[in-house]
Amino acid sequence: MKKYQQEYNTPYQLKFPIEIEKIIETTDPVYTFCEVFDHIDLNKYLTTEERRTGRPRYDEKTLLKVILFAFMENGYESLRKIEKLCKTDIRFMWLLQDEPPPSHMTIDNFMNNVLNGKIEEIFADINAYIFEQENVDMDHVYIDGTKITANANKYSWVWKKSCEKNRVKVFAKITELLSEMNTRIAAFGVKFGVREEYAIEYLEQILKQYIQLCGFDPASAVRGRGHHKTPEQRYYDKLTSYIARLKKYAEHIKICGNERNSYSKTDHDATFMRMKKDYMGNDQLLPGYNIQFGVCDEYIAVYDVKQYASDMDCFKPLMEKFHRIYGKYPDYPVADAGYGSFNNYLYCEEHGMGKYMKFTMYEKESKNIKYHNDPYRAVNFRIDENGDLVCPNNKKFHYVYSRPIKGNKYGRTEEFYQCEECANCSHKEKCCKCKGNRIVRINEELTAFHKEVLNNLNCIHGALLRMNRSIQSEGANGIIKWNRSYTRARRRGLNAMNLEIAMICCGFNLHKFHLKKIAIRKAA
């Protein structure tokens, strides 16, 4: 028999040149990345002390550089892909500086335990160096938001209003049950109190008293088919099930809180909201987060992750975060119609910011001349010398009453005015088709704010700001979501999402800084 000998070797030998420039090109992003981090003091965020017992601690600075460079290159990178890049990519090997490649669990523990609380300060330091090199204008901030689908199941919704309605129904059933139980225990001279609403502790106390009065032992309860339950067990089982349901509803309402009306069972911090791209195709609400960006000269200056479906509630927290990072408020916060509200305009008035946020009817006000100059609109009514509104038929509107706006934190009110006489008016068909005299609602402060916004945005400077907002803020969202393929959250929870978005923003700014450096070098 012939013996075949297998040779387990290869004639090729791996050879690396001594000079690093022959391996990595001089235009590679890793050089820009190292330039930025050489000017940042990471010692105030990351520890360098070694453990006295156990395995030696992995160098935290090296881990941070490896993670952020992966986000700079690819927008978002998984932990296992980062581990693979540390073993196969020569640039990551260079960043490791003779350190062994970290495992994905090492990277994950570092992100959750160390980086989660320090990433915002690191993001601010990265921006401080880049903004100084690029002379970034911090007075103009272009604001936009985008909704990201959460890492949660589709049909995992919990609605707070539904829980509140069902809880009221359970209260009615408990009242009926307690009335039956009172007739059962009337011989003992005891009567359970009946209320409109019941606390869980009160019902648990009633359950204990009922067991003691009737002498029922829950351990002897029968279950299953073919067993006959006693009346005592039936009342006990019903009251136990009602208490369990009330506990479940109370937990759901507690998780939702005061500012949300829904949450996902898979991710409690995710709120159900309508997405622009509905992958289910039935216009159904999906769990997600509202991501806010403030862009200055194509760089993300500030970010925020919120649980609100509306952008109006996100403006004030975003500006407060901008002030906390940079120590000032921007002079020109430019945003679309999703941010224009009485609260936000008044907030800009208080902090010396210009009003450059569109309102809901801005497009119609600025482009539809017929609507803007309609003489039958209340805002276009003439005001006489006494300060009264006068309609086109020279009839006065008299003040009737004021009503506060529900949920408004600044005490906004609406004033109601009624015409003195609309009967037999020749303008009635065009002005108002109501049976009685016409009533109009006017908020003088909001109307003045709208006029100021129209003047600000329709001038030459305002037109340039509107054009830049559509280029910069919406362009940043487009690059992150489509060019860099980040369309769905990978982590769960509000804190984890803040970490994820912060790393994406760090990578975005570093990548943008590198592209601008290359463009300047080519132009030169």
497 vs 491: CA distance, rounded Å: 6
- 316: Cβ contacts below 8 Å, ≥ 6 apart: 343, 344, 347
307 vs 305: CA distance, rounded Å: 7
> Could you tell me if residue 295 is inside a domain?
no
| Judgement on whether residues 171 and 251 belong to the same structural domain of the protein | yes
In eight-state DSSP terms, residue 404 is E
| Judgement on whether residues 31 and 81 belong to the same structural domain of the protein | yes
Domain boundaries, position 61: 23-117
Map tokens 């005299």 to a residue: 437
322 vs 329: CA distance, rounded Å: 7
Query: Is residue 51's pLDDT more than 60?
Result: no
| 276-331 residue pLDDT tens | 777 666 778 899 999 999 999 999 999 999 998 889 989 999 999 999 999 999 99
| Judgement on whether residues 91 and 178 belong to the same structural domain of the protein | no
| Judgement on whether residues 162 and 254 belong to the same structural domain of the protein | yes
Query: Is residue 105's pLDDT more than 60?
Result: yes
343 vs 333: CA distance, rounded Å: 15
Query: Is residue 49's pLDDT more than 80?
Result: no
- First-to-final CA distance of the chain: 73
Instruction: Return the pLDDT at 18.
Output: 60
Instruction: Return the pLDDT at 379.
Output: 84
Task: Calculate what percentage of the chain has a pLDDT beyond 90.
Answer: 54
452 vs 259: CA distance, rounded Å: 31
| 341-394 residue pLDDT tens | 888 999 999 999 999 999 988 888 888 888 888 888 888 888 888 888 888 888
Total domain count for the chain? 3
Out of 264, 284, 311, a domain closes at 264
The tokens describing 273, both together, are: 């909201």
> Could you tell me if residue 347 is inside a domain?
no
Instruction: Return the pLDDT at 121.
Output: 94
Out of 442, 463, 498, a domain closes at 442
The three-state secondary structure class of 96 is: helix
> Which whole number is the average pLDDT over 270-281?
81
How much is the pTM?
Answer: 0.87
In eight-state DSSP terms, residue 480 is I
Instruction: Return the pLDDT at 434.
Output: 78
157 vs 272: CA distance, rounded Å: 7
Query: Is residue 410's pLDDT more than 70?
Result: no
Which residue from 273, 345, 356, 359 is spatially nearest to 316, judged by alpha carbons?
345
> Could you tell me if residue 247 is inside a domain?
yes
> Could you tell me if residue 499 is inside a domain?
no
Confidence class for position 214, pLDDT limits 50, 70, 90: confident
> Could you tell me if residue 294 is inside a domain?
no
| Judgement on whether residues 80 and 172 belong to the same structural domain of the protein | no
> Could you tell me if residue 462 is inside a domain?
no
> Could you tell me if residue 317 is inside a domain?
no
Instruction: Return the pLDDT at 167.
Output: 95
462 vs 468: CA distance, rounded Å: 10
| 182-193 residue pLDDT tens | 888 887 788 888
State which H helix or E strand residue 324 sits in: helix 315-326
| 123-172 residue pLDDT tens | 999 999 999 999 999 999 999 999 999 999 888 999 999 999 999 999 99
Which is more confidently placed, 522 or 77? Answer: 77
Confidence class for position 224, pLDDT limits 50, 70, 90: confident
| Judgement on whether residues 113 and 169 belong to the same structural domain of the protein | no
- 438: Cβ contacts below 8 Å, ≥ 6 apart: 391, 418, 419, 422, 431, 432
> Could you tell me if residue 194 is inside a domain?
yes
Out of 208, 238, 264, a domain closes at 264
Instruction: Return the pLDDT at 506.
Output: 96
CA distances from residue 328 to 122, 138, 141, 322, 363 in whole angstroms, order as listed: 19, 9, 12, 7, 31
> Which whole number is the average pLDDT over 47-64?
76
Instruction: Return the pLDDT at 429.
Output: 80
67 vs 298: CA distance, rounded Å: 23
| 443-481 residue pLDDT tens | 888 888 999 999 999 999 999 999 999 999 999 999 999
Which is more confidently placed, 265 or 9? Answer: 265
| Judgement on whether residues 216 and 167 belong to the same structural domain of the protein | yes
Instruction: Return the pLDDT at 48.
Output: 60
Instruction: Return the pLDDT at 19.
Output: 65
